[in-house]
């Protein structure tokens, strides 16, 4: 499968010493080639894995899409919500009011660090902060 990325983003996609591209290749067990024109070729045998790898590359280059649902890993829990990672290095906040339809007094009673939850991207503010909702997924 292929995807085009802006030529000015090629260096960021490859990373220092090829670190970013190696991490993607190892994580998805695929081979990735990038041309000077920005064509990213993802080679592998499992179509679903290829689609997931392409969507990960798209998110890393363009950021998450408002309205999209992602599997998120809970990184840390605060009294006001939980910080979760929705993609390699892309994190956002699930505010306590967006965790459940029920009132959540203490987020730690509802989720734990390391859990995987489904979240929906509700908003990306001017500062680039991602506001997520778990209750909007149901």
Domains of the chain: 2-62 (3.30.1370.10), 69-133 (2.40.50.140)
* 78-90 confidence digits (pLDDT tens): 999 999 998 766 8
Within 13 A of 62's CA, how many CA atoms are on the CB side?
13
The residue to which tokens 């392409």 are assigned: 54
Q: Is the distance from CB of 12 to CB of 63 less than 8 angstroms? A: no
Tell me what the mean pLDDT of segment 21-39 comes to. 92
The per-residue pLDDT for 58 is 83
Confidence label for 30 from pLDDT (cuts 50, 70 and 90): very high
Strand partners, 2: 41
- CA–CA distance, 44 with 105 (Å, rounded to integer): 45
């Amino acid at each position: 499968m292929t995807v085009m990325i802006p030529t000015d983003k090629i260096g960021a996609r490859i990373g220092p010493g090829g670190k970013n591209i190696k991490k993607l290749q190892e994580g998805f067990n695929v081979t990735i080639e990038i041309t000077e024109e920005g064509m990213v070729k993802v080679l592998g045998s499992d179509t679903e894995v290829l689609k997931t790898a392409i969507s990960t590359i798209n998110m890393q280059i363009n950021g998450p899409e408002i309205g999209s649902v992602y599997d998120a890993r809970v990184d840390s829990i605060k009294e006001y919500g939980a910080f979760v990672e929705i993609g390699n290095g892309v994190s956002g906040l699930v505010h306590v009011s967006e965790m459940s339809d029920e009132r959540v007094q203490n987020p730690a009673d509802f989720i734990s660090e390391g859990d995987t939850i489904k979240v929906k991207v509700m908003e990306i503010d001017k500062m680039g902060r991602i506001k997520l909702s778990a209750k909007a997924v149901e």
